Structure 1
Amino acid sequence: MSSRIYVLGAGSMGSLLAHELRQSAPEIANPTLLFKGEQRLRDFIAHESKITVIRQKGENIFKSESQLAAGWQPPMSREGIPSHIDNLIVATKTYLTEAALRPYIGNLSSNSNVLFLQNGMGVADDLRRKFWPSSINRPNFFQIISTHGAYKALPNVVHHVGLGKLSIGYIPKHRHSLQSDELKLDGNLKNSPKIIELLTESKNLNASYIKHNPLLLVQMEKLVVNACINPLSAVLDCLNGDLLYGNKTFELMKKVVQEAVDCFKAEYSFIKFDPQSSSFLDVGRLLNTVLDVCKLTASNSSSMREDVRHLNRTEIDWINGYIVKLGTRHRIPTPVNRLLISMVNNKLSIEQSIELSSTQIDKTK
């Protein structure tokens, strides 16, 4: 029996997950990639509807291919009624989530599982308020946190350059609290949806299903790493490893981390009563993690830097912006995170204006 899985967002990570699900369970999983528009779908079909994943292990290069179903509109029945989507992996940019998900709301129900594979924090809360203010018909939400490194050199080719891991956890329907009927989903693989089992069975994805609070801690750690590396590399226009050579970057990172930890402790009460959680969110430990990631990804260009270079909107509002949002809620100052948001937005607007000016000059020649 096939499992109805749709992947909204056919970027590098969305394509990688669809490919791995197809590879690891071809008789069960038949993922459908959902593209942004009809032209992108046509380009995909022109390449035989295949995704090629390339990995290098030592001196050896390995390639694998998957042929996938694809679409660009919500699935409908012959009668024109929205077909039910059992499982939806959302792998879009955070700021595109609301617009991308809106057409598919009619395909989702309380029996649907929606898995968010995205940077930043706070997306699920916003969608809950926007589309499902009542919990009656709200889908089951899950968060996927990835440390994998992947990029697309060509539209249908994914380079899986950093073999990391996936941490998957259930997001409570009621903010910060699991109800009695939800406890069975909290990190219990035996009671989890089939899609969770399929993801954890994929060797290349290295996925694990964990409880909500430990997942939050992993999410906070990744947010802190991104809040330091992404905006600084974007503003300074440098590779991740180059940040280690800056005379003042360490001090800036430390302030970003301290502001984030202060906000996390105010927002999530369980941290105060759990010594292990407090140790995990120790400022020194998190700062060392940021520096380690700079070293491990020294030759990488962060996604935020690439967005600015390509004149695209960044995810700053869901990364540093989330820290500022918590700071505002709990009256905790977050001046450095606010400064970085302003600098990234100004950097982007300057680059966009320069590009627009040069285009206008070219037209007058």
Structure 2
Amino acid sequence: MHVSIVGGGAIGLLYGARLAMAAYDVAIWTRTGRQAELLNEEGIEFVARDRLAVVPVAAYAVADGAQQDNYALSHDRSVVFVTVKQPQLTDALVDHVASITRSGDFVIGMQNGIGHMDRLMRALPGRVVLAGVTTEGALRHHPRTVEFTGEGQLHVGSIAPSHPSIRDESTQEVEKVRESGQKMLMDMLAKAGITAILSNDMSNRIYQKLLINAVINPLTAIFDLSNGMLPAHAARRALMRALHEETFTALNAAGYQEEGSEESWERLLQVCERTASNISSMLADVRRGSMTEVDWINGGVCEVAARYGQAAPLNAAAVSLVKALMK
């Protein structure tokens, strides 16, 4: 199975390096030609606590139309990990994914927030489109250097469209490919040392990660703190709790199944403790002056709340405050 990684950020380089080290044929599709040149010339520099490796990969710029034209035809079966952040999941990028895949290929959307799976399913008929939710940590230090900062799990599985207007385009043939290919996909990830779980409950997984991101990401960005420092102050902890309760209530109305609000709150605190030294992706974006995912995370919660007749003033405030940081 051939592997394409669309996105040369931290998660893209992390998965690309690990799959290439497991002897899979890996191509990284990058936003810039310069990053593609670096990866082709010098490979991915993979950094972990007990390991430093330089991993050769093929790399292409997304804008390189000449490479796109023949790419899908040159591989019998492909799996494509779409690892760009939500702001980069543009119509042009989705068209690129369509151009490098064929009917029966696997496409795994790994964005934070919500809304991305509907876009991919709508634009990629005939492909096996799966959702991916990872709890692994990675930090990109350089266009070719990624540090593996925390082990976790990758949950992968199908998800139903959230809007009736998105028809299920799956044919009987595609379903056969899904059934046969999922085991191959799981075997591939296991060979690369990636703890992957095939899930029948991806909507819940996405909501669970959305809940965690909706609290940690904007507040660490606003207060300019690592994850572990966020609950260390009483006022910040109270704000965390209030934002958690509002988000939990909205997602619960949408069908999120959880043991209870208290158990969910304890899980959130455990994530802060387990990733204490981590800088959230939203804080990293703010520090770089890059567009954040706040519209798809806290803005996504606002959309869910409105759909079920609820208010989400704290999530709306988080959107406004994070955007104010960028002005």
Q: Same fold (TM over 0.5)?
A: yes
Tell me which amino acid in the other structure corresponds to 2:5.
V
Please say which of residues 75-84 and 258-267 is displaced more in the overlay.
Answer: 75-84
Structure 1 residues 74 and 208: alpha-carbon distance in aligned structure 2, compared to 1, 3 A threshold: farther
User: Structure 2: which 5+ runs fail to align?
Assistant: none
- 1:74–1:104 CA contact under 8 A, matched in 2: no
For residues 325 and 287 of structure 1, the distance between their equivalents in structure 2, rounded to whole angstroms, comes to: 22
Structure 1 residues 35 and 180: alpha-carbon distance in aligned structure 2, compared to 1, 3 A threshold: closer
Tell me which amino acid in the other structure corresponds to 1:42.
E
Tell me which amino acid in the other structure corresponds to 1:70.
A
For residues 96 and 308 of structure 1, the distance between their equivalents in structure 2, rounded to whole angstroms, comes to: 16
For residues 283 and 66 of structure 2, the distance between their equivalents in structure 1, rounded to whole angstroms, comes to: 42
Please say which of residues 112-121 and 74-83 is displaced more in the overlay.
Answer: 74-83
- 2:258–2:264 CA contact under 8 A, matched in 1: no
Please say which of residues 259-268 and 90-99 is displaced more in the overlay.
Answer: 259-268
For residues 67 and 268 of structure 2, the distance between their equivalents in structure 1, rounded to whole angstroms, comes to: 52
For residues 3 and 105 of structure 2, the distance between their equivalents in structure 1, rounded to whole angstroms, comes to: 10
CA-to-aligned-CA distance 1:64-98 (integer Å, 9 cap, x gap)? 33211111147878995663473211011111112
CA-to-aligned-CA distance 1:15-72 (integer Å, 9 cap, x gap)? 1111211222x1xx2011111122222222332xx1121211xxxx322332111111
Question: Of the candidates 107, 111, 115, which is equivalent to residue 100 of structure 2?
Answer: 107
Task: Give the TM-score of the pair, scaled to structure 1.
Answer: 0.78
User: What secondary structure does 2:158 align onto?
Assistant: strand
Tell me which amino acid in the other structure corresponds to 1:168.
V
User: What secondary structure does 2:326 align onto?
Assistant: helix
CA-to-aligned-CA distance 1:231-273 (integer Å, 9 cap, x gap)? 11111112222212222223322232222222223323xx5xx
| Aligned position for 2:190 | 200
Structure 1 residues 81 and 11: alpha-carbon distance in aligned structure 2, compared to 1, 3 A threshold: closer
| Aligned position for 1:88 | 80
| Aligned position for 2:8 | 10
- Deviation (angstroms), 1:108: 3.2
- 1:146–1:164 CA contact under 8 A, matched in 2: yes
Please say which of residues 226-235 and 294-303 is displaced more in the overlay.
Answer: 294-303
Structure 1 residues 103 and 292: alpha-carbon distance in aligned structure 2, compared to 1, 3 A threshold: same
User: How do residues 318-329 of structure 1 correspond to structure 2 at under 5 angstroms?
Assistant: 318-329=296-307
Question: Of the candidates 306, 316, 324, which is equivalent to residue 338 of structure 1?
Answer: 316
| Aligned position for 1:121 | 114
For residues 80 and 70 of structure 1, the distance between their equivalents in structure 2, rounded to whole angstroms, comes to: 15
- 1:259–1:323 CA contact under 8 A, matched in 2: no
Task: Give the TM-score of the pair, scaled to structure 2.
Answer: 0.87
**Residue 63 of structure 1 pairs with residue 52 of structure 2:** yes
- 1:267–1:326 CA contact under 8 A, matched in 2: yes
For residues 81 and 64 of structure 1, the distance between their equivalents in structure 2, rounded to whole angstroms, comes to: 31
CA-to-aligned-CA distance 1:208-245 (integer Å, 9 cap, x gap)? 2121x2x2222222211111111111111122222122
**Residue 257 of structure 1 pairs with residue 235 of structure 2:** no
| Aligned position for 2:139 | 151
- Deviation (angstroms), 1:328: 1.4
**Residue 292 of structure 1 pairs with residue 292 of structure 2:** no
**Residue 38 of structure 1 pairs with residue 33 of structure 2:** yes
User: Structure 1: which 5+ runs fail to align?
Assistant: 272-276, 350-365
| Aligned position for 1:162 | 150
Structure 1 residues 51 and 80: alpha-carbon distance in aligned structure 2, compared to 1, 3 A threshold: closer
- Deviation (angstroms), 1:337: 0.6
For residues 300 and 310 of structure 1, the distance between their equivalents in structure 2, rounded to whole angstroms, comes to: 16
- 2:305–2:312 CA contact under 8 A, matched in 1: yes
- 2:103–2:127 CA contact under 8 A, matched in 1: yes
Q: What's the % identity of the aligned pairs? A: 24
- Deviation (angstroms), 1:115: 0.6
CA-to-aligned-CA distance 1:154-173 (integer Å, 9 cap, x gap)? 32221112111111112346
User: What secondary structure does 1:192 align onto?
Assistant: helix
Larger Rg: 1
- Deviation (angstroms), 1:324: 0.5
Please say which of residues 285-294 and 253-262 is displaced more in the overlay.
Answer: 253-262
- Deviation (angstroms), 1:103: 3.0
User: What secondary structure does 2:72 align onto?
Assistant: coil
